[in-house]
Amino acid sequence: MKPMWLVLLGPLADFANLIAAYFAEIWEFLIFIGRVSAAIVVLIGAILWFTEVNSKRGKGLVLSGILLAVIVQYFVTYPPAFVMG
């Protein structure tokens, strides 16, 4: 007869794998949202900047959109452990 902790370990490992799979799906969605929002922020900033409606605000939006795109790309390049495993 197996010890009790070995009997419980199988279902707990399955549950942990299920939770990690859900986290990976959520992570993919968050990466998608980050990429889309970076593009929208840069586009709106460029419109504000080049039409001279609010040039200072437009420059800030373009720079923050580029920064957001760089941060999202970093997390795509180096994902957390639950996405890799």
Taking only the tens place, the pLDDT of each residue in 24-83 is: 899 999 999 999 999 999 999 999 999 989 899 999 999 999 999 999 999 999 887 766
Q: Which two tokens stand for residue 62?
A: 């373009």
Cβ neighbours for 81, distance < 8 A, ≥ 6 positions apart: none
Its pTM stands at 0.75
- What distance, in Å, lies between the first and last C-alpha atoms of the chain? 32
